[in-house]
Amino acid sequence: MTTYSKRVEELLGKAGADEGDIVKVELKTGKTYEGLLMPRTGFGNKDCLILKLKNGYNIGILMDKIKSIEVIKKAEKRKATPSTKSRKKTGSRKLKKVSILHTGGTIASRVDYETGGVKALFTPEDLIDLFPEIENYAEISSRLIANALSENLRFEHYNIMIDAIVEEIKKGTDGIILTHGTDTMAYTASALAFAFENLPVPIILVGAQRSSDRPSSDAAINLIAAVQFITGTDFCDVGICMHATTSDDFCHILPACKTRKMHTSARYAFQAINSLPYAKVWPKEEKIEFLRDDYRRRSDVKDKLIVRKFNPAVKVGVLKAHPNMLPEEIMVFKGFDGLVIEGTGLGHIGIESFDEHSKENERVREALQEVINSGAVVVMTSQCLHGRVNMNVYSTGRKLVEMGVLGNLTDMLPEVAFIKLAWLLSNYPKERVKELWYENLRGEISHRTLQ
């Protein structure tokens, strides 16, 4: 345990404690803590002992405060898990093939009790060892295609995912699960939805709000529900599978282009906006209930798969409208290929002067017009999320339409608008982009507004 200080190592050696052991630490004050002995990361005070408590959280205990350490349970060496080929299948039914592609995120990790650290899981053996239930529903293949915090992903990474998915389709998979960090999972879902036309297999993105080393982890149920949904239905589109409530009762299958992360940490964070989930999945009961019948089915697959990737060089910006805007904020986007405005209300940004204090708004309007004239495709969305952009109601909106701002009468989420604009600009000339903006290509525009 070389990253701890010599004093801590001597104390641990005297107690016979090693990384991964369950230990009880008694403080000089008489208070005790019981937990998993963790390794040092190499950062911070090396005189600080790290324990992972039963609730999943780590605490640090300074050496000078420790009275004694007692080993409660020694770490067990895990036996090697047999490969999926050597495992005996029960029953004679032929299982569907499900490919699990990993891009990172907490769902593809667990505590390694030999070291006390969090270990990434990428092989079929690892996954089946942690989630043995999935082997009852599918023949699993699994591989790593990226290992990143999802906020760090770029358009190039979408293309890597697209290539990996095409490769699995060519191998004959019946469905694909993409594990993903939750921060930008909705962005990636919409990116994949736009990239594939005539998709022959379902693609389900799965994440976890709580890491697998916490008792409240949602990783297992989300993954099992996704496998059950792929193997038990005729769904053939891109979707997201995440917890529907705070409980471990059922998951939602959510539409790729109508879903947003609405909470920083809650397990039900992902919600369908201006739309309904496709289905509910109860993993324990092995029950699936569709909430909509307008989903794409395997029987709808008649034409050849068409793939259109992202151009990493395309420059698309996002601007949030707010009071007291400055023209300098707008001019940042001059020279960009596209700009998504998160407007207020029905789709507004302050461009009108009504007294001596609002003259700057005229300069904002001039700056926006200059960006449009420079060749940028500018589109309007709403910060309100629910409801529809309608720039016909007020004078501000009508002036924006006259200036060339697109998006009137649509209800695209800002994130989806960003992805759609980047994808269109990657594949079509700008005049065609302006036409396609109003077409509902992948379910991104609702036919009617839900209350």
Distance CA(48)–CA(38), nearest Å, equals 11
Distance CA(209)–CA(207), nearest Å, equals 7
Residues 181/149, Cβ–Cβ less than 8 Å:
yes
Between 395-403 and 360-373, two packed helices, what is the crossing angle to 10 degrees?
Answer: 30
Residues 276/450, Cβ–Cβ less than 8 Å:
yes
Helix (H) or strand (E) holding 207: none
Among 85, 77, 73, CA closest to 140: 85
Residue 389 has φ and ψ, to the nearest 5°, of -70, 130
Diameter of the chain by CA atoms? 81
Token pair recorded at residue 57: 């959280």
**What are the angstrom distances between the C-alpha of 96 and each of 124, 230, 365, 437?**
15, 9, 57, 37
Residues 173/328, Cβ–Cβ less than 8 Å:
no
Token pair recorded at residue 315: 């420059």
Which residue among 258, 261, 280, 420 is the active-site one?
261
Distance CA(284)–CA(387), nearest Å, equals 35
Which residue among 103, 123, 182, 233 is the active-site one?
182
Whether 434 is catalytic is no
Collapsing DSSP to helix, strand or coil, 435 comes out as: helix
Which residue among 106, 173, 188, 381 is the active-site one?
106
Among 310, 269, 31, 17, CA closest to 155: 310
Whether 182 is catalytic is yes
Residue 240 has φ and ψ, to the nearest 5°, of -125, 135
- Other C-beta atoms within 10 Å of 52: how many? 20
Which residue among 183, 248, 249, 300 is the active-site one?
183
Token pair recorded at residue 145: 């295609």
Q: Which residues of 92-107 are buried (b: 16+ CB within 10 A; e: fewer)?
A: eeeebbbbbbbbbbbb
Residues 243/218, Cβ–Cβ less than 8 Å:
yes
Whether 261 is catalytic is yes
Distance CA(192)–CA(158), nearest Å, equals 8
Distance CA(46)–CA(12), nearest Å, equals 13
Distance CA(167)–CA(169), nearest Å, equals 5
Residues annotated as catalytic (active site), given as ranges: 106, 182-183, 261
